[in-house]
Amino acid sequence: MRTRTPAALAIVGALALAACGSDDNAADDATVSPATTEAMAEDEMADTTDAMADDEMADTTDAMADDEMADDMSDEEMAAAEGDLIVVATGRDDLTTLVAAIEAAGLAGTLASDGPFTIFAPNDAAFEDYLGEMGLTAEDALADTTFLSTLLQGHVVEAADDSGMVAGMVGNPFVSLAGTELPVTVDGDTITIGGADIVEADVFATNGVIHVIDTVLAPN
């Protein structure tokens, strides 16, 4: 009978130890500690939160870009205008009383400045109706510059708001230069500001926009 030499026994022992080590490593790989599981969950949550934050930031950036584009469009339309608010109003044949009133009240310089301004501009027919209701002639009204200035400032807002922006102000009244509130309502295609219908919108000037209205906005 053959016996194993000491060298052969040593090799067998080494192989047995290696096999035990592999089994232990396999057992370790198969068993994940609670701490490791919690760390993995936190990593996944952090990744999800980061992804959501990235999406929200992208949405916010897109919304800001849309707003800037809307502003740029208004700027382009105003830049294409033929002059400032006074020049544009003077060039129309339905705003002659308004222009005369602005000049008499000493507001022409203000409305020709950088602004921007939005003028809700009563047309000549609106002024005629208003003066008749008040029992005044045009000469009487133009002579009372204090009253005239307050009346006209009630038709001006310190911003360049096109018709889309005006329509978006439902439930959030404009505040005029006179400090009066001008509530907005929308009925189909008709936008009403302070009780007056806008009969022609978006008459752009280099320093603002005119919306022609059918009624004089009397002081509150």
The DSSP bridge partners found for residue 210 are 119, 203
* Dihedral sign, Cα of residue 52, residue 57, residue 58, residue 60: positive
3-class secondary-structure state, position 35: helix
Per-residue pLDDT, 82: 79
88: CB partners within 8 A, 6+ apart = 81, 82, 203, 204, 205, 210
The domain locations on the chain are: 33-80, 83-213
The DSSP bridge partners found for residue 197 are 192
Q: CA–CA distance from 120 to each of 104, 183, 204 (Å)? A: 18, 12, 12
Per-residue pLDDT, 204: 96
Query: pTM here?
Result: 0.67
Per-residue pLDDT, 74: 56
CATH of domain 83-213: 2.30.180.10
Cα 159–163–167 angle (5° rounding)? 95
> Strands 117-122, 174-175: parallel, antiparallel or unpaired by DSSP?
unpaired
Per-residue pLDDT, 19: 43
CB 197 within 8 A of CB 111: no
Per-residue pLDDT, 219: 83
3-class secondary-structure state, position 3: coil
Per-residue pLDDT, 113: 95
The DSSP bridge partners found for residue 119 are 156, 210
Mean pLDDT per 10-residue section of the chain, whose length is 220 residues: 40 40 46 52 56 50 41 57 92 97 96 96 97 92 93 97 96 96 96 98 96 92
